[in-house]
Amino acid sequence: MKEEFVLLLVKEKNYSAALDSYVDDKKFDKVEEFCTTQNEPGLLTQLLTKYFEKHKKHVELKNIKEAEEFRRLALKLMQNQSSKNQLDPRVVLEKIPASWMFKEQDVDLIGFLSSLFDFQLTIEENTKIAERIIQMETLNTEIEFNNLQAAYLVVREDTECQVCKGKLGFKKIRIFPHGMAFHMRCAKNPQECPITRQRFDMDAVVAGG
Ligand SMILES: [Zn+2]
C-alpha cells in the first residue's frame, strides 16, 4: 500500500512528498537508494536538506535523541556522497549547521567540505567554503593549523592575485586559511594577509612596541 503511494507520488513528480514518506517511515537506506535511482537531479540534496531541517526542529524541541539521529543521517549521507559530486555544494554550505564539529567520530567533515571545492564554482563560492571551514575550525582547537592550510582554495587558471591583479598560475603562490591566494612575492609575510591584514600565526601577536 505504502509503496504504491510512493509510486503515485513519483508519477506526479511529487518527489518532496515521496522523500517525506520514506523519512517518516524511517526507511533511511531505502530513501537514499531511491534518490540515486530516480534519475532526478537534486534529490540527494533535497534529502540532505530534509535531514538538516529535521535535526534543527528536534533541537528546538529538545528531542536530543532524534536530533542526534538526523545529525548522523546527514553526516552519513554527506560521507557516502563525498566522492560522487551529487550534492549541491551551495545548498550544503547554506544549510549545514555551523555548530557541527569538524572531526566526527567516524566522519571526516573537513574532508567532505574540502571535496566540495570545485572548479565549476566561482571564486566567491570557493571562498565561502573556505570561510565556513575556518568558522568551523575555530570550534575545534584540536585541529592542527598547518594540516588545514593547503586544502582551502582551488586556484583556477584565471584566478587573479588581489595585490598585483596579475594571474596567479599554480606555482609560487601562497594560500591563506581565510581562502585568499596571492603570489609569494605579493604576500611576503606568510602569516599576514596582504589585503585584509588578518594574521594567521598560532600565537597571539606580540606588539613590537
Ligand atoms: Zn601578485
Q: Can you give the residue ranges of every domain in the chain? A: 157-209
Average pLDDT over residues 139-164: 57
Question: pLDDT at position 157, please?
Answer: 64
pLDDT of residue 13: 81
CA of 117 to the centre of ligand 1 (A): 22
CA 93 / ligand 1 centre spacing (Å): 29
- Which pLDDT tens digit goes with each residue over 13-66? 889 999 999 999 999 999 999 998 888 888 999 999 999 999 999 989 989 899
State how far the Cα of 62 lies from the Cα of 50, in Å rounded to an integer.
18
Cα 185 to middle of ligand 1, angstroms: 7
174 alpha carbon to ligand 1 midpoint, in Å? Answer: 10
pLDDT of residue 95: 83
Query: In whole numbers, what is the pLDDT of the chain averaged over residues?
Result: 75
pLDDT at 206 over 60: no
pLDDT of 191 reads 82
CA–centroid distance, residue 24 to ligand 1 (Å): 54
Q: Which of 12-26, 141-155, 184-198 ranks highest by mean pLDDT?
A: 12-26
Q: What separation in angstroms does the CA of 51 have from each of 46, 47, 59, 105, 123?
A: 9, 6, 12, 19, 28
Ligand 1 centre and the CA of 61: distance in Å?
A: 51
Count CA atoms closer than 13 A to 36's CA, side-chain side: 11
CA of 96 to the centre of ligand 1 (A): 34
For residue range 110-137, list pLDDT tens digits in order.
Answer: 666 666 666 556 777 777 777 776 666 5
pTM for the model: 0.57
Phi/psi for 84 (5° steps) reads -105, -5
The CA 129 to ligand 1 mean position distance, Å, reads 23
132 CA distance to ligand 1 middle (Å): 25
Question: pLDDT value at position 182?
Answer: 84
The pLDDT score that the predictor gives to residue 34 is 92
- What pLDDT does 155 receive? 60
Cα–ligand 1 centroid distance for 171 (angstroms) = 12
Query: 157-209, superfamily in CATH?
Result: Zinc/RING finger domain, C3HC4 (zinc finger) (3.30.40.10)
Measured in angstroms, how far is the CA atom of residue 201 from the centroid of ligand 1? Answer: 22
* Ligand 1 centre distance from Cα of residue 167 (Å): 7
Q: Which residues have their alpha-adjacent CB atom under 5 A from ion ligand 1?
A: 161, 163-164, 183, 186
Say how far apart CA 148 and CA 139 lie, in whole Å.
Answer: 14
Distance 118 CA to ligand 1 centre (A): 23
More reliable by pLDDT, 31 or 5:
31
